[in-house]
Amino acid sequence: MDYIYAVLLLHNAKKEITDANVKAVLAAAGVSVDDGKLKGLLASLKEVNIAEAIEKASMPVAAAAGPVAEVKEEKKEEEVEVSEESAAEGLGSLFG
């Protein structure tokens, strides 16, 4: 992941993503560099539009946030109903 973060940092800084630049970022972070991994990563990223990949990756995360919030709200409503029923049963036993 360190290599990917270095590439994303260089992309965000609008710097060229080269072997030397990625090595410099990793070295600054105290990460030892494996030249084989780095060359493989850079070769696989040659045809990738990083800005477009980031944009596509961001969309599913935002879409997933909506239903999760709705589920939490539903659970709160259910808990309130259960506690009201329990309270009503408790009052009935006092007078009955």
Whole-number Å distance between alpha carbons of 81 and 79: 5
Is residue 18 within 8 A of residue 45, CB to CB? The reply is no
Cα separations (Å) of 50 from 35, 59, 94?
22, 15, 68
What would the CATH number be for the domain defined by 1-48? Answer: 1.10.10.1410
Check residue 49 and give its pLDDT: 93
For the chain, give every domain's residue range: 1-48, 62-96
5-63 confidence digits (pLDDT tens): 999 999 999 999 999 999 999 999 999 999 999 999 999 999 999 999 988 887 655 55
Exposure class string for 84-93: b at 16+ Cβ within 10 A, else e: eeeeeeeeee
Choose between 75 and 13: higher pLDDT: 13
Give the rounded distance of the alpha carbon of 68 from its chain centre: 14
pTM of the model: 0.58
How many C-beta atoms surround the C-beta of residue 38 within 10 A?
17
Read off the pLDDT of each residue in 56-80 and give the average, rounded to a whole number: 59
Check residue 9 and give its pLDDT: 95
